[in-house]
Structure 1
Amino acid sequence: METALADYLDDFTRRDWQTLDPDAVTDPVRIAVVGLGWFAREWALPGIARSAYTEATVVTDVDADAVEAVAADHDVTGVTPEELRSGAVADEYDAVYVATPNATHLEYVTAAAEQGKAVLCEKPLESTFDRAERLVAACEDAGVPLMVGYRMQTDPAVRRLKDLIEAGVVGDVVHVHATMSQTMLGELSTDTDQWRLDPELSGGNALMDIGIYPLNTTRFVLAAEPEQVYGTTRTEHEAFAGVDEHASYRLTFPGGVEAMCSVSQNAQHASRLDVTGTEGRVILDPAFYEREDRGFAVVRGGTRVDVEFEQVHQVEEEFAYFGHHLLADEPFYPDGEHALGDMRALDAIYESADTGLPVDLT
């Protein structure tokens, strides 16, 4: 098995999408970063800086102190959200990265589209399907490219897993198991007065915030769309009142392939993606968190191979892909229409949780 796998696993971290030499880039894509929460500060801004195809030039947030501090630390222009939306410094950026609470994505993306700027918007696309549709339409009407921040799709570990599935290493896929959990009020913050716990701003919690990772990654690696969903949610603690603390859902894909997924904002930190076929399995464990190394294993014919590979900065890969494709004038794969597939499925999972019945997506 190891010899056969070498054809797919050699040069594990290769960028199979890259056509432009990063060393030849003299004018990287200038990005305005909207929203300066922990992820933007600790991951997005370093990712932009590490990518040869991008540079941050403008930052904004509703927190004026954060804007001032980040602007000084990164030697960029800091502006108010009103100044960003008005286009006051539009000549200083080519694209806009939106990393604000879900229900505010629409206003910032619409403003960027009206300024003729390319957009990279965090997932989920918005807090509701209707608002997500309006966001996608705003970019289409303005003729600006929209990419959605599915960093798993540009992670080499996920791309190699997809390669192996397509090469038939696992045979015919039978089922997928995926999980993602964390103690949100502990790992990230102890603040209960935050937007992820506000249903108007978030649209939901466990399912919207982390449930989208198993959902979208499964769609990506199977190159297929779910035909039916069935889901349950539950909330046990007062801090999560009004949103889902835990969620489980089943996705049924063409051919009867099923993905069983469970996510939690109040459980032991873990993440795993396990794809099982008629002849083998491919496993990512850990799988989904940007702040830990991914593990990669292939099981076939009773033999397990754990692949050691150079870990990449997930967010650098995402921004490199974004900047590269803008400079090369190539379309994004994780675009707005692709993201609407997730929003449609998330809506249906919540509907199923309310009714206790499966929901057809076809």
Structure 2
Amino acid sequence: MELEDTFVDFTRRDWETESPDGTVRMAVVGIGGFARERALPGIAESTYCETTTLVTGSPDRTRAVAERFDIPYVVDYDGFLAGDHADSYDAVYIATPNATHGTYASAAASRGLHVICEKPLETSLEDAQGIVDACRDAGVTLMTAYRLQTEPTVRRTRELVRNGVLGDIVQVHGAFSHPLLDTASPDSWRLDPDLAGGGALVDLGIYPLNTTRFILETDPTGIYATTHSSGEPFERVDEHVAFQLEFDTGATASCTASFDAHASSRLEIVGTEGMISIASPFGGVVPQDMVVESGDLRMEYTGVPVDEVREEFDYFGYCVLTGTDPEPDGEDGLADIRAIEAAYESADTGRRVDID
């Protein structure tokens, strides 16, 4: 593989091999900040999805959002569970607190509706398995919302690794920090372990965890993790986390995440013959900046940012319309929860833990 070929048509959608007709009508369940500011605009800009229904705990306050995006229906959570306006959408995007994902995903699957669910799928492996089983039994598409798997820089990185440009992968370094209290109040559900299932690891560390698994195309076999919290309002969840993943290829991944540090993210993949560094991969909008070194050759690429949220929904819509199984499916979501549960066990016991 010629390294230069990677940067030709860099933003190509290698998953888009046909041009299906129509769109997938979406109900967006949970109208928090991310849904309002990123998901709804991304769906509006997409080719294969459109939003027809909003599901919220505050219908009156949400009507302005519906008017902004020209969305005809607004229902509350009880109405959604009862099937109000269920004939107005084909699929649901679930963006509620983690512990509620199973309730809404199972209700959607029981009506034959497709599901794209924010990560993590649920707060425990057992509850996440329930979502996978419900969607499988109903014969509907289930996609875990790992938007970076549809983002061009990450996809090109996987191609380079797959084609041996870096040789054998030896080390991965991933980090993601975000000062949570800059955008959320101290009573945020993200600081409630019963609703979130964890802290910085679940909310932020899952990004380098899943992206590493995606790029290496293999699952970790062991993990060692430590967590730290300094006190209120983080006393019930991990404020900071560091974890090291082991793979049966011999590669390791060292990752950190923090709820209370300067906003920053990075990803570096080091092999026996080269390395790749991606600038700010996890911060919401990837700037399309990457450096690739292979032997004596060094190349830098800087391109126009791509909205990975739009890419994510177009990929989901495309999969539904064409009957394609999405890569970030339910099993992908389960694999991350296995690693997360093993990480918390390691942090509690101070020992390395095998990941089954």
Place the TM-score, normalised by the shorter chain, in its bin: over 0.9
Per mean C-alpha deviation after superposition, the further-off stretch among 65-74 and 118-127 is 65-74
Q: Is the contact made by 1:20 and 1:324 (CA closer than 8 Å) also made in structure 2?
A: no
Which of 277, 280, 289 lines up with 1:286 in the alignment? 280
Could you tell me how far apart the structure 2 residues matched to 1:157 and 1:72 are? 34
Q: Deviations over 1:29-63 (max 9, x none)?
A: 00000000110001000111111101000001112
Specify the alignment match of 1:49 in structure 2: 44
Paired residues, what number? 355
Aligned partner of 1:15 in structure 2 is 13
Please give the alpha-carbon distance, in whole angstroms, between the structure 1 residues aligned to 2:82 and 2:343: 37
Structure 1 residue 338: deviation in Å? 1.4
Instruction: Tell me which residue corresponds to 1:240.
Output: 234
Q: Compute the displacement of 1:165 (Å).
A: 0.5
Which of 70, 77, 82 is matched with 1:81 structurally? Answer: 77
1:1-362 equivalent positions in 2, closer than 5 A: 4-21=2-19, 25=21, 27-76=22-71, 77-186=73-182, 188-189=183-184, 191-291=185-285, 293-362=287-356
Stretches of 4+ moved more than 4 A in 1?
Answer: none
Q: Over residues 152-198 of structure 1, what are the superposed CA-to-partner deviations in whole Å (9 max), with x where a residue is unaligned?
A: 10001000000001111111101101000011111x22x11110011
SS at match of 1:170: coil
Residues 190 and 196 of structure 2 are in contact (CA less than 8 Å); yes or no, is this contact kept in structure 1? yes
Aligned-residue CA RMSD in angstroms? 1.3
Shift of 1:303: 4.4
Distance 1:304 1:209, change over 3 A: same
Q: Secondary structure at the match of 1:256?
A: coil
Q: Is the 8 A contact 1:231 1:353 kept in 2?
A: yes
**1:36/1:66 contact within 8 Å kept:** no
State the Cα distance separating 1:237 from its structure 2 match. 3.1
Give me the whole-angstrom Cα distance separating, in 2, the residues matched to 1:104 and 1:280: 43
68-77 or 147-156: bigger deviation:
68-77
Cα distance per residue 1:217-248 (max 9 Å; x no partner): 00000000100011010101311110000000
Q: Take 2:172 and 2:28, find their aligned partners in 1: how far apart are those partners?
A: 35
- Paired amino acid for 2:291: A
The Cα shift of 1:73 comes to 1.7
User: Partners of 1:131 and 1:290 in 2: how far apart?
Assistant: 27
Structure 1, unmatched stretches of 5+, are none
Contact 2:227–2:241 under 8 Å retained in 1: yes
Gaps of 5+ in 2: none
CA distance in 2, matches of 1:211, 1:65: 35
Are the counterparts in 1 of residues 287 and 304 from structure 2 also a CA contact under 8 Å? no
Which whole-Å CA distance do the structure 2 matches of 1:163 and 1:353 have between them?
34
CA distance in 2, matches of 1:346, 1:214: 12
| Matched letter for residue 272 of structure 2 | T
